[in-house]
Amino acid sequence: MIVGGCDIGSTTGKAVVIKDGEVVASHILKSTTSPGKTARLAMDAAIEQAELSSIDDLEKIIGTGYGRLKVPFAEENISEISCHAKGAHWMEPSIRTVVDIGGQDCKVISVSGKGTVSEFVMNDRCAAGTGKFFEAMARALDCGLEGISALDNQGPEPCPISNQCSVFAESEVVTLVNEGYDLKNIISGINASVASRLSSMVRRVGLIKELALTGGCSKNEGLVKSLSSKLDVGVITLPIDPQLAGAIGAALFAAEKLGK
């Protein structure tokens, strides 16, 4: 049995190939202006990595994510909320709460023991707490996303960032820099600001251990540390790239629908 999952987000496209219950290939790339093109590039790269002759070798493909309706070769599409829950739970069955931080939205998902969605909350009305927010902050500090993420760059006294709006927060950060505040404290303040917003969303759903982060921003070590501190709970490190959780979930749904 060999299936595929394709997760087309606002900033990245992800594709995986699962063969007999094992991820044998995956690919992540920056989204193009066309979701269909992004999907094709991501899946073609995964197929090549899996050493398959063509996309026709996959028995079923399911699309998910922001651009799931535009995946031309997907036979079906499923919400990224369901796919992230299933993908994270499959990687680590003890997971009961998933925080998915994407390019343009963030979600907190309560996951059942079977990997299904019990409840969720979502922020999709503004860029606060998303990848776009971090991109704006990295631009303001001229340090790159890696600079905001690195644990070595997290200061001991986080500067308060009061604005959640990316535009106003960027202006606030520039002001802090001009006033001579320590760069590391500004960076830890940025992560603490996002962690505060996420922790509020988690509490709305109801925190159930274990907790894991998915999506591209899950690789922000400073954010993970700050969120863990605010919730007073450890964050599980998933055994496979957490940015692939949605695509993995989509492929698992494909396998289920084949009855295998």
Fold of 1-92+239-260: Nucleotidyltransferase; domain 5 (3.30.420)
**Has residue 260 got a pLDDT over 60?**
no
Give, in order, the Cα–Cα distances in Å from 80 to each of 32, 102, 125.
19, 11, 17
**Whether residue 210 has a cis bond before it, omega within 30° of 0:** yes
pLDDT in tens, 86-130: 999 999 999 999 999 988 889 999 999 999 999 999 986 666 678
Rounded distance between C-alpha atoms, residue 59 and residue 1, angstroms: 7
Residue pair 90/116 in contact by the 8 Å Cβ criterion: no
Tokens of 121: 């909350």
Domain ranges of the chain: 1-92+239-260, 94-237
Fold of 94-237: Nucleotidyltransferase; domain 5 (3.30.420)
Q: Are 1-92+239-260 and 94-237 equal in CATH topology?
A: yes
As a residue count, the chain comes to 260
pLDDT in tens, 1-54: 999 999 999 899 999 999 999 999 999 999 999 999 999 999 999 999 999 999
Give, in order, the Cα–Cα distances in Å from 151 to each of 148, 154, 155, 213.
8, 5, 9, 17
Question: At 103, phi and psi to the nearest 5?
Answer: -70, -35
SS (H, E, C) 185-249: HHHHHHHHHHHHHHHHHHHHHCCCCCEEEECHHHHCHHHHHHHHHHHCCCEECCCCCHHHHHHHH
**Has residue 151 got a pLDDT over 80?**
yes
Q: Report the 10 Å Cβ neighbour count for 155.
A: 16
Tell me what pLDDT residue 169 has.
84
Q: Average pLDDT, whole number, for the chain? A: 94
Tell me what pLDDT residue 246 has.
98
Tokens of 136: 């704006």
* Predicted model pTM: 0.94
Tell me what pLDDT residue 259 has.
87
Tell me what pLDDT residue 230 has.
96
Residue with tokens 């996309």: 55
